[in-house]
Amino acid sequence: MLLAKYMKLTLKLIKNNWQITLVLVLALVLRLVLIGDSFWLDEAAQALEIVRPTNQQLNLAKDFQPPLLHLILHFAHRLTGIKSEWFLRSIGALIPGLVTIWATYKIGEKIANKKAGLLAALLLASNSFHIFYSQELRPYSLPAMIGTLSWLTLLKLQATSSKSQTNLKSQILNITILFILSSLGLYSSYLYPFLILSQIAYVLLFKRRVVKAFFYSLFFSFLAFLPWLPMFLQQLKIGTAWQSQLPGWSTVVSITQFKSLPLVFGKFLYGVIDLEISATFFFSSFFIVFLLLTSSWQTLKQINKEKSLKIILIWLMIPLLSAWLVSFIIPVLRPKRVLYLLPAFYLFVSYLLYSPKKSLLVKLTLAILLTTNLLSTFSYYRNPNYQREDWRNLQSQIYNKFDTKDTLLIFSFDEVFAPWIWYEKNSKLIIQNQKFDTLVTGKLYINNINNLEKKLELIKNYKTILVFDYLRDLTDPDDRLLSSIRNKGFAEVGALDQENIGLVRIYLNLH
């Protein structure tokens, strides 16, 4: 009886919300494609961390991220015993991505109407940038979900704040939820405070009645973050040391100030495809913006009267501009790190374009936006350059082609790469623990090694040497490692070439 009643309620809920249900089903289907692909470097490092014992889960000094995603994934793994790519990504990224789409729809419905919310949700569901990070085992989708739910809660607080005392319980509940979400947000991303800045601005401008309650919730949220502050400072210290020890590292983890702002909007608009900040980029972007503004001229004329539009702009622009300004001191702004602004971007677009009587220009603009999303998503599915590093396949090739007894793998890094460790631990190819011997240079920058020749002395005991070019353009830009290997009597006879990873050079012992 209970099951039948539950099914009846579920069917009724779907029937009353069939449009957003279809959008969520579409979003799920688009995100299931490639979700089981190989982990890349950072994902594999994340996976290795979450399978450690529980008492080691907060030891994240080398990972410049807060611990929330680690803890969620760790306990999901502990409860189920599952550690496959699709499962961990579903828990850490896919489910948060779907919740973000739903919350975006609810916000659009609240500040505009159901159709505007549906349009924003559809654009978000089909956007390849959001699809990609709804499949990424890193803390980008999670803070986006928390941020969107936080804004939805804040808007509910707006609705209850002006009512009678009978709604006091509802207001207290929303303040409590806001406190919880803000605390979780701070523990999910170090860029989450920029989102909180936009919420502060919104409350000060439009909801002064709830200023006191709102700031109390923020105060306790930041108080809840204080226990993590020592680890954050330790991570910051290690990150600074990396930049000083490895010339060129800052260019990998950051973008120039000139490129960062247009690249954020470019990735939001065009998705995962490669973008060059060029005349073509600016011309195509200008054309789309021109269409958008022209087709929404009637809405723009009323911008001074449209409170909802201002709310969306506060959410979108204050975090973006503040992160950009901070990046002049510490380069923090990258598109994936502000994924939590993508819902605001599409809410802004859908709010401008929605009209009971859609003109031909509005329909054309919508068609271009949706076509751009779908083409970008299709390119992501088809083009390996836009996909993640396939370490699983590379390891399979190496185990099938080389003998573990007389082959040595060399990594120009301070430790063996995380994807190699992860797939070696979970590989079905390894029989009776016959693993490859490995050698690491032990330093981030090879010029800091005092006696490289002595370190490489043991390679003479092997018939074959495999040298990974991955990251070696940073750690060994002058090819000192390759020269030293040749000096030991080895000749390069070929290479394996894996998309997005690079060459694995094959050396044979001539002696």
Residues of the chain with pLDDT under 50: 161-162
Position 1 scores a pLDDT of 56
d(CA 442, CA 245): 12
Residue 161, pLDDT score: 47
The amino acid sitting at 87 is F
pLDDT at residue 187, as a whole number: 96
Helix (H) or strand (E) holding 137: none
- What's the pLDDT at 344? 96
In 3D, which of 413, 394, 498, 457 has the Cα closest to residue 62?
413
3-state helix, strand, coil in the chain (%, to 5): 70, 5, 25
H or E segment and range at residue 490: strand 490-498
Q: Which residue has the tokens 């303040």?
A: 175
Q: What confidence tens digit (pLDDT) does each residue in 176-211 have?
A: 999 999 999 999 999 999 999 999 999 999 888 888
Q: 324 and 333 in contact (C-beta within 8 Å)?
A: yes
Residue 136: closest CA among 21, 35, 248: 35
Task: State residue 158's pLDDT score.
Answer: 58
Note the pLDDT of residue 444: 79
pLDDT for 117 equals: 93
Sheet with 490-498, strands from edge to edge, namely: 437-440, 407-411, 464-468, 502-509, 490-498
User: Residue 431: helix, strand or coil by DSSP?
Assistant: coil
